[in-house]
Amino acid sequence: MSKFIKVCWKIFLWFNIVSIFLVILYAFVPIPYTITMFTRKVQNDWSSTNYTWKSYHEISPNMPLALVSSEDQKFPDHYGFDLDGIKTAIEKNKNGNVIRGGSTISQQVAKNVFLWQHKSYFRKALEAYYTVLIEIFWSKKRILEVYMNVSETGINTFGVEEGAKRYFNISAVNLTKSQAAQIASVFPSPQKWDVGNKRGAKIMRQMNNLGTDYLKKIE
């Protein structure tokens, strides 16, 4: 075995050890910081990052319902990947160079916690790897809890607690159904969109269709 192959093997081995260790650790402790938080801080002239971790039960149940309704209605039932969504994304990608979504909440958590935002096939491969790990080591409730905390909700704003403060001057535990839907509406493009966009009303209808009992599948 050549020296180069030995080095590659050691890198591969240590990458797996460290990544699995972090995934197991983050199954129990709040996420301290992410690559995206650092990137946005640099992009916005080193301005402060607004980020406050809240546990699942310190957030209004309207919020997880809004996010599942908006982002991934198959979330309680899949194992990290929406095969139909992937097929649709592949068909769209055949027509251009832009790599489009089809991502589940689990995939978005893998990206938001462990990776970066710039789209590439390499990042998508790592995203799939981390998605498998968090689906193995985390509960669905934990995945959704992390999603609500580390996702961007505005300029230099991360998590629904800071989003609730930013848009409504309240804590996330007090979010109404309408307010939760409005925050969920900015998740696809928080650098460009604000609450009050047209998606809020659509998300409200989806929340009513699913009903609050839908969350029992997660909890």
69-92 mean pLDDT: 81
User: Mind listing the pLDDT tens digit for each residue in 83-112?
Assistant: 776 666 666 655 654 544 578 999 999 999
Q: What are phi and psi of 48, to 5 degrees?
A: -65, 150
> How many other CB atoms are there within 10 angstroms of residue 100's CB atom?
14
Lowest mean pLDDT among 40-49, 67-76, 183-192: 183-192
> Across all residues in the chain, what is the average pLDDT?
90
Higher-pLDDT residue of 127, 191: 127
184-188 mean pLDDT: 88
Q: Is the pLDDT of residue 38 over 80?
A: yes
Go through the domains of the chain in sequence order and give each one's CATH number: 3-217 (1.10.3810.10)
Measured between alpha carbons, how far is 102 from 125 in angstroms, rounded to an integer? 14
156-176 mean pLDDT: 97
**Model pLDDT, residue 85:** 67
Residue with tokens 């961007």: 152
**Model pLDDT, residue 94:** 59
42-59 mean pLDDT: 94
Closest CA to 174 of 60, 57, 61: 60
